[in-house]
Amino acid sequence: MTGIPGSRPVGNQGYTSSTVVIIGAGISGLCMAIEILNRSQCRNILLLEKGSQVGGTWNDNKYPGCACDVWGALYSFSFEQKSDWAREYPGQEEIRDYVIHVAEKYGLYKYIRFNTAVQEARWDNDHRQWKVNVAVSGYKDSQFHESYQITTDFLVSAVGQLNIPSWPSIPGLDDFTGKLMHSARWDLTYDFIGKRVAIIGNGATSAQITSELAKSVSQLTVYQRTPNWVIPRHDASISPVQKFLLSYVPPIRWCKRAIQMQYREAIHEATVRKSDSWLARYMRKMAVDAMQTQLRDKPGLWAKLVPNYSSGCKRIILSDDYFAALNRDHVHLETRPIQRVTGYGIETADGDLREYDLIIVATGFRSVEFMYPIQVYGQNGRPLSEVWKDGASAYYGVTVEDLPNFGMLYGPNTNLGHNSIIVMIEAQSRYLSTLIAEVVRAKAHGNSLVLQPRPDVVATFNDRIQAELRESTFADPNCHSWYKLENGRITNNWPGLAVRYQREMSRVRWEDYLVEGTGKSRVQGKKATHIGRVQEELPVRTTTLVLSALGVAFAVSAYYLEF
């Protein structure tokens, strides 16, 4: 049963087929669905979500202190801007609620199948469709069937880069008899107040947890392997007056958003390209000054907390209170390497053992293993693991060699170190929905259409961005990060400005694609489809001046009116 291409069949029909399948109902999966619904006639879409709520990483990460490290004013869709964030840097619950609001407002719940984990996707050359095998979890859902197969004409992966927790291979970790949890699988029923706590790792997640837990645990030890650059965040709550103005005087909200976008793009040079620029040096000085000020009682720690690599090589941590937490008497920074975990605590390389009630593993995600653990087989059964044997790569992070009618959001080389990922996700959704619209149109006319990027185009694109990345701060050999492989190849980050990505993605060049199927004539020979971009930054010239003047007026009034 294939159903009418444009719409989902009524009732229980067509359960095992869908014109489009999107894996994941996080920010990118929902954005993709909205774009398809807006830009094409297609209503026959399915979002397969292994969790039981929308939100993706913002539903998974529920640890104390979890917040966004991008300003809230920038962290919402351009078409659904949130104007009443409680804080400049919103917390997890508020972001998850925003994502739920989007799913409700755009009527997406009816397209989502929860408790459904994709295990394998295989392209069927004969039928020109994907066969997607899913496992059903959830006590009741799995009583109907534990697994089944869905066929689809176009498959989109929206699983993101921060999806599967990375567990360290520390000897004895499983032998610990106290409470053990990964930061991305926080047990909200566990009462940590008054407990002796260890936290392994000191990345962005650990810094947020440390700042929060230091307030209520009896003892807290942070196990640091490599120091990070930490700069002040200057977070603040947003007053009711400002919320009112942002909500009811949209130009003020646009102005705030545009200025923040402009600022974020302006720091790209210092964070990604030139670690010796005056701004990069200023940022590092600001980081060291803030650390020494907040950690005034423990000068012995200062040298251990200054990294020996470019700021930007790893994600810069934004925090107003991490070092202040480390300054407290019951909080301890441990830099001796961990040797093993015992039944009761953690032993360092010199044999020193400390006992704990709770060990928090804040060691990040399996970020370079895109789509893990889903097994994908493309054209002629070629495994994706073979296409990606030297590391994940894709054409602008969205389409992959030998994977027909397949798209990715937040795929290889699309992560940013300096700006909001939502800007990238919107550009990707526009682009992919243009490909999808053609496939849907062909199907509606009883034809088939198969699109996959030309290998030479993908290779040229990747050679170009890899050359740029080799010159970026991400490539600093003194640091390893979740952006790159052990051999130094940077698989996760985009080298340029977010605006440059938007511009390069603002047209679909059909000549970049191998086109097959009975409906290929509509696309073959066509040069490009212009899809435009969402301009978030300030345009130069007159508008720049006007918005800047507005921004200054806004800031001055905010200061005098104390909102």
First to last CA, the chain: 58
Please report how close the Cβ of residue 169 comes to ligand NA7 at its closest, in angstroms.
7
How many other C-beta atoms can be found within 10 angstroms of the C-beta atom of residue 193?
Answer: 9
Q: For residues 308 and 284, is the Cβ–Cβ distance under 8 A?
A: no
Shortest approach of ligand NA7 to residue 271 CB, angstroms? 13
Residue 133 makes contact with ligand NA7 by CB under 6 A:
no
Q: Pick between residue 18 and residue 76 the one whose CB is nearest to ligand NA7.
A: 76
Choose between 66 and 261: whose C-beta lies nearer to ligand NA7: 66
Q: How far is the CB of 199 from ligand NA7 (least distance, A)?
A: 9
Q: Where does 471-520 have alpha helices with state H? A: 498-504
**67 binds ligand NA7 per the rule CB under 6 A:** no
Minimum separation from the CB atom of position 161 to ligand NA7 (A)? 9
Residue (of 350, 325, 332) closest to 340 by Cα position: 350
Contact flag: residue 28 with ligand NA7 (CB under 6 A) = no
In this structure, are residues 376 and 396 in contact, taking their beta carbons and an 8 Å threshold? no
Q: Which of 73, 200, 217, 523 binds ligand NA7 (CB under 6 A)?
A: 200
CB of 249 to ligand NA7, least distance (A): 32
Which one, of 284, 255, 240, lies nearest residue 86 by Cα?
A: 240
Residue 444: count of CB within 10 angstroms of its CB: 16
Q: Which is nearer to ligand NA7, 29 or 364 (CB)?
A: 364
Nearer to ligand NA7, 133 or 226 (CB): 226
CB of 543 to ligand NA7, least distance (A): 31
364 interacts with ligand NA7 by CB under 6 A: yes
- Residue whose CB is less far from ligand NA7, 312 or 364: 364
421 contributes a contact to ligand NA7 by CB under 6 A: no
Q: How far apart are CA 284 and CA 419, in angstroms?
A: 19
Nearest by Cα to 423 from 279, 260, 554:
260
The answer to whether residue 64 forms part of the interface with ligand NA7 (CB under 6 A) is no
17 vs 208 by CB, closer to ligand NA7: 208
Smallest distance from ligand NA7 to CB 328, Å? 20
Give the distance, in angstroms, between the CA of residue 188 and the centroid of all CA atoms in the same chain: 23
Q: Does 206 bind ligand NA7 (CB under 6 A)?
A: yes
The type of residue at 20 is: V
Q: Is 313 in the site for ligand NA7 (CB under 6 A)?
A: no
Interatomic CA distance for residues 441 and 448, integer angstroms: 9
Q: Which position among 21, 74, 204, 376 is part of the footprint of ligand NA7 (CB under 6 A)?
A: 204
Q: Minimal distance in Å, beta carbon 267 to ligand NA7?
A: 16
Q: What does each C-alpha distance from 419 to 74, 170, 346 come to in angstroms?
A: 9, 34, 37
Q: Which is nearer to ligand NA7, 197 or 508 (CB)?
A: 197
Q: Minimum Å distance from CB 182 to ligand NA7?
A: 9
Closest to ligand NA7 by CB, 24 vs 201, is 201
Is there a contact between 46 and 108 (Cβ–Cβ < 8 Å)? no
C-alpha dist (Å) from residue 224 to 139, 205, 273, 386: 39, 13, 27, 35
Measured from the CB atom, the residue of 45 and 338 that comes closer to ligand NA7 is 338
Residue 169 or 177: the one with the smaller Cβ distance to ligand NA7 is 169
Question: Which CB sits closer to ligand NA7, 42 or 207?
Answer: 207
Residues 449-508 that bind ligand NA7 (CB under 6 A): 480, 482
Joined together, the tokens standing for residue 421 give 């990922």
Task: Give the strand order in the sheet containing 196-200.
Answer: 179-182, 358-361, 196-200, 219-223, 331-334
CA distance 124 to 377: 9
Residue 168 within binding range of ligand NA7, rule CB under 6 A: yes
Q: Which CB atom, from 202 or from 242, has the smaller least distance to ligand NA7?
A: 202
Among 315, 418, 443, 533, binds ligand NA7 (CB under 6 A): 315
Interface segment toward ligand NA7; rule CB under 6 A; list 162-170, 235-243, 256-264, 268-276: 162-170
Cβ neighbors of 417 (< 8 A, separation 6 or more) are: 271, 272, 312, 315, 316, 474, 483, 493
Helix (H) or strand (E) holding 457: helix 455-470
Query: Which of residues 73 and 184 has its CB atom nearest to ligand NA7 in the complex?
Result: 184
- Directed axis angle between helix 542-561 and helix 250-266, to 10°? 110
Region from 115-123, 203-211, 469-477, 526-534 binding ligand NA7, contact rule CB under 6 A: 203-211
Please state, as a whole number, how many other Cβ atoms lie within 10 Å of the Cβ of residue 532: 12
Q: Does residue 363 interact with ligand NA7 by CB under 6 A?
A: yes
Chain residues 171-190 in contact with ligand NA7, contact rule CB under 6 A: 183
Q: Which stretch binds ligand NA7 (CB under 6 A): 116-124, 139-147, 195-203, 247-255?
A: 195-203
Count of residues interacting with ligand NA7 (CB under 6 A)? 21
Binding flag, residue 362, ligand NA7 (CB under 6 A): yes
Secondary structure in 3-state letters for 139-173: CCHHHHCCEEEEEEEEEEECCCCCCCECCCCCCCH
Beta bridge partners of 408: 157
Cis status of the peptide bond prior to 373, with omega within 30 of 0 = yes
Site for ligand NA7 in 213-232 (CB under 6 A): 223, 225-226
Sign, CA torsion 53/56/58/63: positive
- Note whether 203 binds ligand NA7 by CB under 6 A: yes
Alpha-carbon distance of 135 to 372, in angstroms, equals 15
Candidate segments 304-312, 360-368, 377-385, 392-400, binder of ligand NA7 by CB under 6 A: 360-368
Using CB under 6 A, list all residues that contact ligand NA7. 162, 168, 170, 183, 200-206, 223, 225-226, 315, 338, 362-364, 480, 482
